[in-house]
Structure 1
Amino acid sequence: MALTKNDIIEKVNALGFSKKKSVEIIEILLEIMKNSLANGEDVLISGFGKFCIKDKDSRRGRNPATGEDLTLSERRVVTFKCSGKLRDCVNPE
């Protein structure tokens, strides 16, 4: 089961914020992250990880349904590298 945006809002709400304020906090946080990534900036959250933008060159591809060859255009993708603390939390010894 995935943690959803609504689940995060409920957890912020449980800290004593109103539901409306909780939604506003999460929406603003996500908007800041989206804008930073759209501008090509990395987003580093200490103790959690780093979201980075990587540029992908155009390349040859194939439509798996038809087998037709095609060219995939240049694009930007978001990558994530977790911090050591998060890795240790996920893989306790």
Structure 2
Amino acid sequence: MEVVVMFNKEAVSVSGLKRMKHCDWTSSTTSTSDNLHLYACPRCTKRYKFRTSLYRHLKFECGKEPSFRCPHCSYMTKQKAPMQRHIRHTHGINI
């Protein structure tokens, strides 16, 4: 599966993006709000600022049902870390 990235409002493959060594990423990602979410999921409408966030989304979230259920309420999530954060902040329990 080829991951497509939005760069300056144009679709670019990840391999094509890696070849763009001349790009100044700090100016291109902070100059306008359009460039803040460069990495678009090819399966849904989610967009991410970091490539690693897109890969995490594709591996653990996209098209999958939540598998972590809070033992104290009805909250569900697709990843363990958000569940632990929910339990700490909502229920005041350190785990």
**TM-score normalised by the chain length of structure 2:** 0.24
Structure number with greater CO (CA < 8 Å, separation at least 6) is 1
Larger Rg: 1
Q: Could you tell me the TM-score, scaled by structure 1's length?
A: 0.24
Q: Considering fraction of residues, name the structure with more strand.
A: 1
